[in-house]
Structure 1
Amino acid sequence: MNEKLKQYFANASNFWKSRSKKQKTIFLSSLALIVLLASVITFFATRTKMEPLYSNLSPEEVGSIKQDLDSRGVKYEITDGGTTIMVPSDSVDSLKVDLAAEGLPKTG
């Protein structure tokens, strides 16, 4: 087994040494491009799409809703100068119903 592994690395080394500088550059550039594309695709495929849960809220309402979301373990973002709460798009409807049952927000 060890001998086969040594032979494999020797063949790979000979193959690499037999390539021209241009071929090596093209190979490494292509490899870097593939890694970059895979990273970009992974980033966009796994990114959570956020949508407004409520907007034009008072600071008190934002605080109450934030506290409730924290206790539920829901990921959120506060935007628009602290007046809008953004949550994952697949959670908006159920959170609105749950928060309404608790009387949140107080206005609107």
Structure 2
Amino acid sequence: MTNDPAPSAPGMPEVIVGLVLLAVVGIGGAFAVMRLDIDPVIRGIILTSLSGIGGMAGFAGAHLLRIRSWAAFGVRRTSGRWVRRGILLGILAFLAKGAAILAYVQVTGDE
């Protein structure tokens, strides 16, 4: 056994661990949620959230497989200017989604 330093970039082991965790949390979580006797709206919100949670679990697993800097995964600091832009664009996207839903209901009469 050698004492080689951890690779500087993620490799196939990290990809495999990330995908497995994504599947376990996303698909396994979906099966678990579908068995619950809860309101369909709440179920939909939870299932939608599982895609993001599964992705974060996969990323965390890949990171923890061989501890390395976040920079190896392309994560780096950003400026407050970019954070403000992101927040503004998120708000605009949220408002655009609302307008699109209203337009869809007006055009189709669907509720």
TM-score normalised by length of structure 2: 0.29
Indicate the structure with greater strand content. 1
Which has the higher Rg, Structure 1 or Structure 2?
Answer: 1
TM-score normalised by length of structure 1: 0.30
Indicate the structure with greater helix content. 2
